[in-house]
Structures are given as C-alpha cells and as structure tokens.
Amino acid sequence: MQTTRSYLPTHKAKNFNALLKRWMFRTGIDPFTYAVRLAVILILMIFFVTPMLWLFTAPTKTNDQMLELPALAIGSLNYIPTAWMHLMSYLNGIVLRWILNSINYVVLGLILTLFLRKQKAFLLFSANRGCF
C-alpha cells in the first residue's frame, strides 16, 4: 500500500480542495483555464490599447521628437495647437468634413435602429397578445 505525501498539512490540503471545488462550482471552469483566458484577454488589451495611446501622445511631439523619444512618451503639450493647425491645413480642412460625416452616420444609424426596434417590439407585443 502506497501512501502519497502531501506538501501541505492535511487540514490545509482539505481546505484547498474545498476551495477548488467551490471555485469549480461557481465558475464552471478550472483555475488553469481561467488563467489562460485572463492571459489572452490581457494580451489582446495590450495589442489594441497601445495604438490608441500612441494616437494621444503623437500630437505632443515634433518630427524630431517622434524619432528620438520612445513611442509612448509624451512630448510638449504646447505643440498640440500647432499639430491641430497642421491637420486643419490638410486639403483646406477636409478633416472637419470627415468628422461631420462620421457624426451624421452615427446619428442616422441610431435613429434608424431605434425606429426599427420600436416597430419590431410593437409587432412582437401585438403577436403575443393575439392581435394578429
């Protein structure tokens, strides 16, 4: 008869097993799967958030600072108005037209979605009540 040696005292091992069973019951997955999912989420967050951070720090740098400073380093906040003027001088301020077009698409899409959802909700409610 072989005995297994536990590195934890028996009362601590029982507590750990009870915690592990409770964890499995509550989450439905084992801790390793949870850790893998958490790692994947963190990697994806870094992958998608880093370019957005760069978009906020890039207007604070001059051309020379873009080459010399680290990518996410913040340059001078006094350079932001100059960067905005350079952006507005591109094709006589076409960027403002692009911003307005984006706002129009969002607002019209929202209105259309709300209108269609309202119609669908009315039809579903009427069908459930036996009106049709």
pLDDT over threshold 60, residue 1: no
Of the pLDDT bands very low, low, confident and very high (cuts 50, 70, 90), residue 13 is low
As a whole number of angstroms, the distance between CA 69 and CA 62 comes to 10
What confidence score (pLDDT) does residue 18 get?
Answer: 82
Rounded (5°) CA angle 40-50-56: 155
Of the pLDDT bands very low, low, confident and very high (cuts 50, 70, 90), residue 22 is confident
What confidence score (pLDDT) does residue 132 get?
Answer: 55
Indicate the domain borders of the chain.
8-92, 93-132
As a whole number of angstroms, the distance between CA 119 and CA 104 comes to 23
- Give 62-81 pLDDT, tens digit per residue: 889 999 999 899 988 999 99
As a whole number of angstroms, the distance between CA 62 and CA 80 comes to 10
pTM, entire model: 0.55
- Give 35-63 pLDDT, tens digit per residue: 999 999 999 999 999 999 999 999 999 88
